[in-house]
Amino acid sequence: MKLLTLLFTCLMAITLQAQYVVVNSPGNIEGPYQFSAASFGVELNTGIWTADAVFVEDGTANPTQGCEDPINASEISGKIALVDRGECDFSLKVKNAEDAGAIAVVVFNHTAGAGTFVMGGAALGDQVTIPSVMLSYEDGQMIRGELASGPVNMTIGTYKFSYEIAVEDKYLLHAPNSVIPAFQAEAAGWTITPGADVKNYGTENATGVLLNATIDFAPIGGSGSQVYNDGGQIDLIEPDSTGLIALPEYTPSEGKGIYTINYTVESDNSDEVAYNDANSTQFYLSDNIFMKGRWDFANDRPMVTNSYRSASGTQIEIMSAFTLPVGVGYMMDSVQFYVSTNADSLGVVGDNNIRAYVYAWDDLDADGDAETGEITTVAISLVEFPDPSLTADFIKVSLVKFPDLDGKYSVPEDGMTFIVGLRYEGSEEVFFGVDEVYDQTAFVENLAQTDADLPYFWVSAWVNDVPDLDNTFVFTDFWGSLSTALIINEDGSSGTVEELANASIQIFPNPVSDRFTAEVDLGEMSSYLEYRILDVSGRLLFSTKMENLRQDKSEFDASTLPAGQYFLTIKTDKGSTSKSFSVQH
């Protein structure tokens, strides 16, 4: 894989740095606390900050939420400011405390049992120059109680313990796909390798390091049962080093449902930080969904923790690949993903300026490296925003066969590999959803063999309207997973995104040199009919809309279109369909 050489070079140059939030005193609550660092401000691995902790007081009805300038700035100056979650943007809370002289900020979550999460900095994050973290509601209440009796001293940053090993999300051997259809996994004899790259963040050797993994299976809505229990050991991990413990393979045989892998790690030494000695991950055998990142069962959509774009420009196509052991008898149905923008709204980005593509990849030289000349576009979808006033949304769009844009693409062979891409070539800043928690760093470093195993890759240029895969990129030190779901269905099924099954389009003359007429019969009344003309790459060239009709006959001017193939798409409140036509001058 051509991507890996650069990745390895980057990782080998990085010294392991563990970050902690530690209460130094009083003694009855001292020790490390589980936390989430903010996505803005100074990174915790750049230093260490120690001071007494002081609650902000902003003089409002909720004085410790820090949404206004603190009135106790003299008490906060030089201290670590404590703030309660609520009411306003996290970055505003931190900026207000920083302006009052705080050297760092700790935000307490306001919901019992909710743990912690990465705080976003949408409003003022780029103006914050101090570190900030979130602690859980329960830990916040404990610290709050101690403050009533006297000072609480804390440290945030690159603290060091003598004995400290960890199993972190980034270094778990996650399953290569978080979501795969159960029948596809069974046909492939799909296996996973449980394991983890155990980290020694301590200053002393970690000896006799034992990793154990159990796997619990639960059908959707059903109770779970253990289907795997195994462990492995490594004799010694030196300070600031890693040790890979790969456990025996597991082949899921229980069928559709959720598989949860639970890890624990221990050693001969007394670990001084207990909260990161256990971790878990999941994969899901679905009906018809492929995806690299996790599935959000509560909302029945891809799990998204953040959204990414290239920092070097607005042109991007971000991709992931999937192999279909069973292809014959199935079709490409739809794609589901998350998109956001820094523009005022998705409406500014514009309908059809984002497109979803499916490419068939034939690895002609069998080197595992996806190359520009090895892919063929087989399906496409134009992306319309259900609510253009939003700045972010989950989108589900129907795929149609390419290049004729008429019906679905039926998979012609078993064992084919397909690359799914989300493309934007405009001038706005557009971001696509990723799952940062399902981080495939350990899998990519140790087990990945082809580009199809990568959790994502992207391009910023195209050759004859296909991605320039000879020049692919990854984000620096990031192997989180792309949260783009590919949905397949049996041939002849109705699919998950509605199309106009009873509508007909007649175009004459075809080919056309000047003007052409389109006759449309929708088969039933529709509240509106929208015509669109698109080129072969799916770019919108023309659109017009009319209301309340079943049949229509309209004339269009093709005299200014360059010679080539085009598509006339009709859309109604019931769905859409397309017809191809060619221009010859």
**CB-count exposure of residue 277 (10 Å: 0-12, 13-18, 19+):** middle
C-alpha pair distances (Å), 60 with each of 67, 143, 413: 9, 22, 66
pLDDT of residue 13: 27
Cα–Cα distance, 334 to 425 (Å, whole number): 21
The reported pTM is 0.82
The region that residue 190 occupies, defined by phi over 0 for left and psi between -120 and 50 for alpha, beta otherwise, is beta
Alpha helices in 303-409 (DSSP H): 346-349
Contacts of 98 (CB under 8 A, 6+ apart): 105, 128, 129, 130
Residue 534, pLDDT score:
82
Give residue for tokens 């300038």. 69
Helices and strands (DSSP H and E) totals, the chain? 7, 39
Return the SS3 of 4: helix
Identity of the amino acid at 577: T
Q: Is 206 strand, coil or helix?
A: strand
Distance CA 8, CA 2 (A): 11
> By C-alpha distance, which of 268, 161, 146, 159 is closest to 204?
161
Whether the CB-CB separation of 502 and 523 falls below 8 Å is answered with yes
What does the alpha-carbon distance between residue 212 and residue 230 come to, in Å, rounded to a whole number? 6
**Cα 576 to Cα 132: distance, rounded to the nearest angstrom:** 49
Element (H, E) at 108: strand 104-108
The helix/strand/coil state of 12 is: helix
- The DSSP result for 533-575, as a single string, is EEETT--EEEEEEEEEEEEEEEEEE-TTSPSEEEEEEEEETTE
Can you give the pLDDT at residue 515? Answer: 94
Phi, psi of 248 (to 5 degrees): -55, 145
User: Which tokens in the block code for residue 290?
Assistant: 């492929």
State both tokens at 394. 């989950």
Report d(CA 188, CA 488) in Å as an integer: 16
Helix (H, G, I), strand (E, B) or coil at 503: coil
Residue type for position 62: N
pLDDT in 10s for each residue of the chain, 585 residues: 655 333 332 222 234 468 999 999 999 999 999 999 998 999 998 999 999 999 999 999 999 999 999 999 999 999 999 999 998 999 999 999 999 999 999 999 999 999 998 888 777 889 999 999 999 999 999 999 999 999 999 999 998 999 999 999 989 999 999 999 999 999 999 999 999 999 999 999 999 999 999 999 999 888 889 999 999 999 999 999 999 999 999 999 999 999 999 999 999 999 999 999 999 999 999 999 999 999 999 999 999 988 998 887 888 999 999 999 999 999 999 999 999 998 999 999 987 789 999 999 999 999 999 999 999 999 998 888 989 999 999 999 999 888 777 779 999 999 999 999 999 988 999 999 999 999 999 999 999 999 999 999 999 999 988 999 999 999 888 999 999 999 999 987 655 655 666 788 999 999 999 999 999 999 889 999 999 888 877 777 888 999 999 999 999 999 999 988 888 888 888 777 778 888 998
DSSP, res 15: P
Three-class secondary structure of residue 467 per DSSP: strand
Contact 419, 321 (CB under 8 A): yes
Res 140: pLDDT: 96
The CA-based diameter of the chain, rounded to the nearest angstrom, is 88
Task: Enumerate residues 6+ apart whose C-beta is below 8 A from 559.
Answer: 513, 514, 515
Buried b (16+ CB within 10 A) or exposed e, 10-21: eeeeeeeebbbb
Rounded CA-CA distance 307/547 in Å is 37
Task: Please tell me the predicted confidence (pLDDT) of residue 235.
Answer: 96
Q: Decide: 421 and 456 in contact? Cβ < 8 Å.
A: no
CA–CA dist 571, 44 (Å, integer): 51
pLDDT of amino acid 14: 31
3-class DSSP assignment, residue 131: coil
CB of 38 closer than 8 Å to CB of 134: yes
Compute how many other C-beta atoms are within 10 angstroms of the C-beta atom of residue 49. 16
What Å distances lie between residue 562 and 174, 290, 393, 558, 566, CA to CA?
49, 38, 35, 9, 10
Compute the distance between CA of residue 200 and CA of residue 210 in angstroms, rounded to an integer. 13
**9 phi/psi in degrees, rounded to 5:** -60, -40
Burial 243-275 (b: 16+ CB within 10 A, else e): bbbbbeebebeeeebbbebbbebbbebebebee
Neighbouring C-alpha atoms within 13 Å toward the C-beta of 282 = 19
Query: What are phi and psi for residue 434, nearest 5 degrees?
Result: -135, 160
Both structure tokens of 251: 């082949």
Task: Report which of 317, 318, 559 is spatially closest to residue 435, judged by C-alpha positions.
Answer: 318
For 215, the 3-state DSSP assignment is strand
Q: What letter represents residue 399's amino acid?
A: L
Cβ atoms of 227 and 251 closer than 8 Å: no
pLDDT at 5: 36
44 Rama sector, left if φ>0, alpha if ψ -120 to 50, beta otherwise: alpha
